[in-house]
Structure 1
Amino acid sequence: EAEVQEMIQERRLKIQEIRESVKISRDAADREKAEGVQVFSALMESAERGLKELLKEIQDKQETTEREAEDFIRELEQEISELKKRSSEGDDPPNKNWVEDRVHPPSYEGTVERAVAQLEEKMKKMLDMRRVQQFAVDVTLDPDTAHPKLILSDDRKQVKHGDDWKKLPDNPERFSKCVFVLAEQSFSSGRFYFEVQVKGKTEWDLGVVRESVDRKEILALSTKNGFWTLVLRNENRYSTGEKTSTLFDLHPGPEKVGVFVDYDQGLVSFYDVDAAALIYSFTGCCFKEKLYPFFSPYLNNGGKNSAPLIICPVSQAG
């Protein structure tokens, strides 16, 4: 009988495990459905905006054609009046001029196809942004890592460069030669994402660094040195900071940058958040240490670059 009771207890525990598993599955399904509804609603809104833009483009073309036609008709009527006047006064008519066919009906060929292609591209970008934004994490700046000339806000969400060297302990975590600061949070697995406002700045550095990065020397922002970054210099020179880095043609440049990391897949991506556009991705990275979100507002350059970097709450694209 003791064996029977034990078997009964085992089965009851198994039933409980199954019910808990079903509940977890149901909760996950509910979240997926809610996310699906949000994405679909956003796509419908985007499609509606795309249709309005298409109709406006066609309407604008037609209105332009009608204005050109009215102007041409007025010119021809004026020429007719001039010819009648010359004829009644017995003057010789002017040299015969062929009337130019200056007004052409607008061509709408390909307009719809272009609009659909643009909408599809926009949807793909938006879906990619939503995919990474779901891994948003709360990031705050670590004052123990901040260079002595950096000024952090009380909530540790903003950083800018100041002219005064603050008297701070030269602890091992602090950057002494470069105006860098790290986040308090670190990551050694999984995926994470955060957004930073860069509006009004002419120079900055953003990305992630490995924990063992040298904090007491001047370093190039290279993957060899443990930096995976996006860099702005001289207002419009965007690159990864590597010596051999190509320049990115970003006009206009982003006002808010999203940073996404998939630690296990060795991926670091940078996004223009407002445009829902991928700027650049480091792929095939081999991470073996903790990664920290990394920030540099760069030098304030006499006030020209005094705007702060601001860690923003993430609101989904669309």
Structure 2
Amino acid sequence: MPRKFFEYIRTVILAFSGFLGFISYANAGEVRDNIEDRGYLRCGVLQTVFLKKSPIKEMSEDLCRGLALALFPDPSAVKLVSLTEQEAGQALVDGRVDVIALANQKRLSHQANHANTGPLFVNNLDIAILFKGYKVRDLGGKKICSLDWVDKTALAIFGQKHQISFGILSYRTEEELLNAVKSHGCRAVALPRVEQAIFLKQVSGIFPAPLILSSSSFKNSLGMLVSSKDEEWKAIVGLYRRALLESERREVSSQNVDYVASSTINPEIQKLLGVKGSFGQDLGLDHNWFYRVLQNHGNYQEIYSRHFNNRKITLERGPNQLTAKGGALVVNDLR
């Protein structure tokens, strides 16, 4: 159905109804129009390789492909744009990318024009005490090793919380850190959860049973970042995020979506899968957009497992559970 028809419907809805009051459509539709005109999504992916592994980057690419499927039936209608943190913010501001997957808004330049559609991955700082039998109190007066780019604020808070003081050795490269640990020059290592899991696997032969402590005071929340100037596009990307989490909560996956769609009498699930009701049509999405995403990419749990429960890395979900299971990923009711 033509885009202009949806523009008309949207105008009527906003004029006479308040059920989408949480969305303000000032400057709405420009990003989506540009995507439709060019025929594909441009999705920014940060260069996050650590010790030659990049599970966050690979998950980002997966999320990009899923978002493209929400917009187009063609699974190849996406261009992945590799970005550094230094250039990512400007690329979004300049319109070189439509969205950036799994980025920390606070770490990008030109922050004022960015909007995070909600957390999709939490990569908090972990402190791994390497030596068997060591407790937190044993770090007093010792050295904790890390890397230059890791935010040390969380370590200071960690020390205050446990009332201990310690030195911090900060290395420029992963190889330097690895050599320091192998030579027993560090009592503990402080890295974000994903990087920590990769790193500890590298030294598992020397330190097979480290004590891992999470520094929950440092919220490294990664999400899908969009321009804050286009509320409609923000709403579309936010709806995609919510649907991924909601489908996990409702236990609808790529494995059972066909059966559930044909048999469920739950109105919320029917709405989610486009069987009945309206879910995203007011934003110009077709009725089975998320059905298509689920069939090809799965729900959040499936995407997470694909990248963090495999031969390369095994990482318990922890803060990346839904809030109902004690995690930090909030599932809002579908509207």
TM-score (norm 1): 0.23
Higher relative helix content: 2
TM-score (norm 2): 0.22
